[in-house]
Amino acid sequence: MFQAEMTQDERSPLSIRILSIEEYPLHYHSDIELIFVLDGQIRLLLGSNDYQLSTGDIFACNGKEVHGLYGSIGENVVALIRVNNRIFSNYYPNLARSCYRTNTADPQDERLSFLRRELTGLLLNYGENLRHQEQINVAVMKKILGYLEANFNYFTIRDGIVHSEAIDNSQTAKRISRIILRMYESYFQKLTLDELSRTEDLSSFYLSHLIREHTGLSFREFLAFARVESAQLLLLDESVELNDLHEMVGFSAKRYFDDHFLQWFGVSPEEYRHQNISKIKSEKRPERSIEITKPALLDLLRGYDAHQQSEDRTLPSGKGVVNISVDHKKSKSIPFQPQLTISVDPRDRKAPNILQKLQRFEHIQILEASPERVTPHWCLDTIAGAVYWLKKSREGSLQIPIWDPTDEEDALQGQRGLIFRNGIPKCSYYAMLFLSNARGRMIDSSANHWIIKKDAPGGSPSYVVLIYNGGEEAEAICNESMTREQVADAIVAYREELNMKLSIKGPAGAYKIALINIDSSTDYFHYVHRYGKQSPSDPVEQLLAEQYTAPYVNIYNADSTGVLDIYTRLDGICAQMISVTPLSV
């Protein structure tokens, strides 16, 4: 039985291997894998296509796509970066059903420059053995996956070759992405163009034109392609009877299946099984490759990175690190006591879901007042709103309603509340939780961070670090009148990153470090914008939305001999709280 290749550590968010490959036989896995050619050339067999990849090329293999890699030992270096779908699906629910394609007809495609820069930085972190590289690389991979989702989650077929073509209109790109996902999800069913057109609220004539223009195939041709592609995995599983296979992938008759499979693979299904069953990765046919050492990887990456920077000077290097050193005994400190007032409608004061959320705040004032409806500012429903409130808290006290004023069908209202009327917290809710739990003495600050010491009687102090990125941009978005689309595009367009190293001098010992991050991948506005308005009465959708909007949390233990180093990275408009707590002996 043809089984998925397992990762090296199923609990790890990422699995990285740096190899020089002679043969990595046919295999598949449930997770997404990014293939990044760092040197030389490699041949990739995937589906019905035979790709030649060269230095700098990036290829995304989606879950359950059969592929193999072939080259010559010593003449190539390839990074295989496996993404744990189970972990990252918390941020991108459609990850397991992605259709990413990063190979383009234009090697100078500006979209690839972004991916190369981010992947190079990720591999540098890996090669340098940074102490906390995992949490840094999780942040980097979230950014990469978001970019793949927005720019590469669809593909075109021209002259039989599957590749990516940029779609200038973002709404059209999202529509094509949805259509492709729907066809891959429903390929084994009797999906019709009329059914799809009703879902997209378009005429079948226009939808047919749209599909052909952007995929290169008609609706029927693309559906047949999706079916024969899906059949490849079953053909390599000898436990599946050939006579049953056509029905399993949605063809009404075997002859139709045979004709379409021959069109794309050049052989009949029977011949394909006969030719390739012995080429599957197994104990009898293991991979032939050698591992590249981390020092050799770093030498290669630094040369490659310098070359990339010289070619594109418009891209930030992403390597600058803000170093902050603090000695809590010598640093001047001032009381840090944010003044927060949460207003609650008297009718809702004792509602269980509101009471529970209010109890999570510390040191706040509660004011009974009905929320007033204001002119919609959609940014307030987004991560930009959370960063905006954090920035405003520097100017004085804040008074914010616990939730939006009216019970409308659409949860997004662009109002000042911390919670949508469907009960889903906004990013602003978590930002205010950060502030309410950060009372103590401020021992260091800058335009985008605070470090607060919280003394423990007779014991080692604990610390809370509040950081936000993109404060000026968030304020600009929140002060302008924008449509939902404009707000979404402005948040995605802000790509500045903040790399920070905190060195806190204090008592030696063991500490628990918790990093709590909110960004557009934990944003209900982002969820609705990407996946469409969901039924408020569907408990499964409610559960998905609550899971999606929960902050990303990474917890680990660290030993300090007197100086505790903490590395963190913030990408785009986002905010983070870092909790540093001594472990009891």
Q: What is the CATH number of the domain that holds 68?
A: 2.60.120.10
Is 161 inside a domain boundary? no
Going by pLDDT thresholds of 50, 70 and 90, the confidence category of residue 130 is low
d(CA 134, CA 414): 35
Going by pLDDT thresholds of 50, 70 and 90, the confidence category of residue 214 is very high
Is 564 inside a domain boundary? yes
User: Do residue 409 and residue 530 come from a single domain?
Assistant: yes
Read off the CATH number of the domain in which 570 is found. 2.60.40.1500
Give φ, ψ of 270 to 5 degrees.
-65, -45
User: Do residue 260 and residue 355 come from a single domain?
Assistant: no
User: Do residue 497 and residue 394 come from a single domain?
Assistant: yes
d(CA 404, CA 128): 47
Tens of pLDDT along 326-385?
887 777 788 888 889 999 988 777 677 787 888 888 888 888 888 888 889 999 999 999
Domain's final residue, options 236, 263, 285: 285
How many domains does the structure of the chain reveal? 3
Mean local confidence (pLDDT), 470-493: 90
User: Do residue 417 and residue 549 come from a single domain?
Assistant: yes
Mean local confidence (pLDDT), 8-31: 89
**More confident of the two residues 140 and 129:** 140
User: What pLDDT does 146 receive?
Assistant: 85
Residue pair 50/321 in contact (Cβ under 8 Å)? The answer is: no
Of 31-35, 352-356, 519-523, where does mean pLDDT reach its minimum? 352-356
Mean local confidence (pLDDT), 215-243: 92
Tens of pLDDT along 172-189?
888 898 898 888 888 888
User: Do residue 263 and residue 129 come from a single domain?
Assistant: no
What range does the domain containing 38 cover?
1-152+287-316
Residue 573: is its pLDDT beyond 80? Answer: yes
User: Do residue 309 and residue 264 come from a single domain?
Assistant: no
User: What pLDDT does 495 receive?
Assistant: 78
Is 66 inside a domain boundary? yes
- 350 to each of 354, 359, 489, 537, how far by Cα in Å? 7, 11, 39, 22
Residue 312: is its pLDDT beyond 50? Answer: no
Domain's final residue, options 269, 285, 301: 285
User: Do residue 379 and residue 264 come from a single domain?
Assistant: no
Mean local confidence (pLDDT), 205-209: 93
Going by pLDDT thresholds of 50, 70 and 90, the confidence category of residue 537 is low
Inter-residue long-range contacts of 335-339, CB under 8 Å, 24+ positions, other chains counted: 335/441, 335/442, 336/438, 336/439, 336/440, 336/441, 336/442, 336/450, 336/452, 337/363, 337/439, 338/393, 338/397, 338/398, 338/435, 338/436, 338/438, 338/439, 339/365, 339/396, 339/397, 339/398
Is 157 inside a domain boundary? no
Residue 539: is its pLDDT beyond 80? Answer: no
Give φ, ψ of 580 to 5 degrees.
-120, 115
Is 129 inside a domain boundary? yes
Mean local confidence (pLDDT), 472-499: 88
User: Do residue 207 and residue 333 come from a single domain?
Assistant: no
- Which range in 111-120, 234-243, 405-414 is most confidently predicted, on average pLDDT? 234-243
Facing residues of 510 across strands?
559
Is 220 inside a domain boundary? yes
User: What pLDDT does 89 receive?
Assistant: 84
Residue 1: is its pLDDT beyond 80? Answer: no
**More confident of the two residues 458 and 476:** 476
User: Do residue 298 and residue 182 come from a single domain?
Assistant: no
Tens of pLDDT along 432-455?
999 998 889 999 999 899 999 987
Q: For CA atoms 210, 213, 219, 225, give the dihedral sign.
A: negative
Tens of pLDDT along 59-110?
999 988 999 999 999 999 999 999 998 888 877 878 888 889 998 877 677 7
Secondary structure (3-state) at 211? helix
The H or E element that residue 231 is part of is: helix 219-235
Q: What percent of the chain has pLDDT over 70?
A: 92
Tens of pLDDT along 139-150?
788 889 988 988
User: Do residue 394 and residue 262 come from a single domain?
Assistant: no
d(CA 544, CA 124): 34
Is 160 inside a domain boundary? no
Residues whose CB falls within 8 Å of the CB of residue 108, separated by 6 or more in sequence, listed in order:
none
Give φ, ψ of 243 to 5 degrees.
-70, -20
User: Do residue 197 and residue 213 come from a single domain?
Assistant: yes
Tens of pLDDT along 257-307?
999 999 999 999 999 999 999 999 999 999 999 999 999 998 888 766 544
User: Do residue 247 and residue 337 come from a single domain?
Assistant: no
**Residues for the chain: how many in total?**
585
Is 263 inside a domain boundary? yes
Read off the CATH number of the domain in which 253 is found. 1.10.10.60
d(CA 166, CA 414): 31
